[in-house]
């Protein structure tokens, strides 16, 4: 995937997207990088550790979270994007569903749009992506963050998500975004139960029929924590080493089942997982 001065080789090597949440309430690292200096330092660290993309978000999309204003989102992310764009050569992705936020971030140096709403939330976002000619990540989500985990149900889990992503990609292309600029994400943890998430990872290969690069973001999510926590504990902190070990298991499984990009908090550990998993696949 080539655009502007950027190129992502999607195939023999799995690409790594490093997460920087400039928020007070993200489920894994809320508040740690709310100060722009801390967020920039984290972005630089993830890039140095081997990230291929840095994903900057200014609004938490954890289950039951509330939205923030565009002005607040801009205040959080644009200074971070601007400074990182001057210091790193890898593409910066802006994680937003708001066209006005995306525009300011793209003008500041961002080079991708990561939209959990798959261009459904803001009609101006597709037009903006087409104008700038940047890649767009289209994610599946059932409902919205504040309600998505209230009894999610599917009659045909993979079939329904496949159909949604196919329609989202066709709609994006119809709005002027080149198909070679599209990436799809089945939305692990977004309107899915733990069983749904596990089944999606096991059946990722079925999304190959879309003919589009596949991104998977399973890092530290609640279904992993539930699997690795001691019996009887209601939950455990997302940044515990055992949760990271569980995350890396999902990363490896995702790669073996067709993921082209993995979105993670811990890039250093993921680099090792990717090297081994890719070597096995390419042997």
Average pLDDT, the chain: 93
Helix (H, G, I), strand (E, B) or coil at 150: coil
> Would residue 149 count as lying in a domain?
yes
> Would residue 60 count as lying in a domain?
yes
Q: Which residue has the higher pLDDT, 26 or 254?
A: 254
Does the annotation count 263 as an active-site position? yes
**Per-residue confidence (pLDDT) for residue 24, from 0 to 100:** 80
**Per-residue confidence (pLDDT) for residue 228, from 0 to 100:** 96
b/e sequence 172-182, b meaning 16+ C-beta within 10 Å: bbeeebeeebb
Percentage of residues of the chain with pLDDT beyond 70: 94
* Nearest of 63, 75, 144 to residue 105 by alpha carbon: 75
Does 148 have pLDDT greater than 90? no
Task: Encode pLDDT of 185-229 as tens digits.
Answer: 999 999 999 999 999 999 999 999 999 999 999 999 999 999 999
**Per-residue confidence (pLDDT) for residue 143, from 0 to 100:** 74
The domain tally of the chain equals: 1
**Per-residue confidence (pLDDT) for residue 61, from 0 to 100:** 75
Q: Pick the catalytic residue from 192, 221, 225, 229.
A: 221
> Would residue 129 count as lying in a domain?
yes
d(C-alpha 193, C-alpha 189), whole Å: 7
Helix (H, G, I), strand (E, B) or coil at 97: coil
Q: Provide the domain limits for residue 63.
A: 13-281
Q: Which residue has the tokens 């067709």?
A: 258
Task: List Cβ neighbours of 63 (8 Å cut-off, separation of 6 or more).
Answer: 27, 145, 146, 148, 149, 189, 222
> Would residue 165 count as lying in a domain?
yes
- Which CATH number does the domain housing residue 54 bear? 3.20.20.20
Task: Encode pLDDT of 64-110 as tens digits.
Answer: 657 789 999 999 999 999 999 999 999 999 999 999 999 999 999 99
Band of residue 29 on the pLDDT scale cut at 50, 70, 90: low
Cβ atoms of 131 and 110 closer than 8 Å:
no
Residue 223 has a CB neighbour count (10 Å cut-off) of: 19
Does 58 have pLDDT greater than 60? yes
pTM of the model as a whole: 0.93
Task: Encode pLDDT of 115-134 as tens digits.
Answer: 999 999 899 999 999 999 99
> Would residue 4 count as lying in a domain?
no
b/e sequence 196-211, b meaning 16+ C-beta within 10 Å: bbbebbebbebbeeee
Residue 265 in tokens: 């908090």
> Would residue 7 count as lying in a domain?
no
What DSSP string runs through 181-220? GEEEE--TTSS--HHHHHHHHHTGGGGGGG-S-BEE--TT
């Amino acid at each position: 995937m080539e655009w502007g001065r950027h190129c992502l080789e999607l195939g023999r090597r799995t690409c790594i997207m490093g997460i920087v949440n400039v928020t007070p309430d993200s489920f894994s690292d809320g508040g740690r990088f709310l100060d722009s200096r801390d967020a920039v330092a984290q972005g630089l660290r993830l890039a140095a550790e081997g990230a291929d993309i840095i994903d900057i978000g200014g609004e938490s999309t954890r289950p039951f979270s509330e939205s923030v204003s565009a002005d607040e989102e801009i205040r959080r992310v644009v200074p971070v994007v601007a400074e990182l764009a001057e210091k790193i050569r890898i593409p910066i992705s802006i994680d937003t569903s708001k066209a006005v936020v995306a525009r300011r971030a793209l003008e500041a140096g961002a080079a991708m749009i990561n939209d959990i709403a798959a261009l459904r939330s803001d009609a101006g976002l597709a037009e903006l992506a087409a104008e700038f000619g940047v890649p767009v990540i289209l994610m599946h989500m059932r409902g919205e963050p504040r309600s998505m985990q209230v009894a999610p149900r599917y009659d045909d889990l993979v079939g329904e998500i496949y159909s949604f992503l196919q329609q989202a990609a066709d709609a994006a292309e119809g709005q002027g975004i080149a198909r070679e600029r599209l990436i799809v994400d089945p939305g692990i943890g977004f309107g899915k139960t733990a069983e749904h998430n596990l089944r999606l990872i096991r059946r990722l290969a079925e999304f190959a029929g879309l003919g589009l690069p596949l991104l998977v973001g399973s890092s530290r999510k609640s279904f992993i924590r539930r699997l690795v926590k001691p019996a009887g504990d209601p939950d455990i902190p997302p940044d515990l080493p055992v949760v990271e070990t569980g995350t890396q298991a999902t990363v490896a499984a995702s790669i073996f089942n067709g993921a082209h990009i993995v979105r993670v908090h811990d890039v250093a550990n993921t680099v090792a997982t990717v090297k081994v998993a890719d070597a096995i696949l390419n042997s």
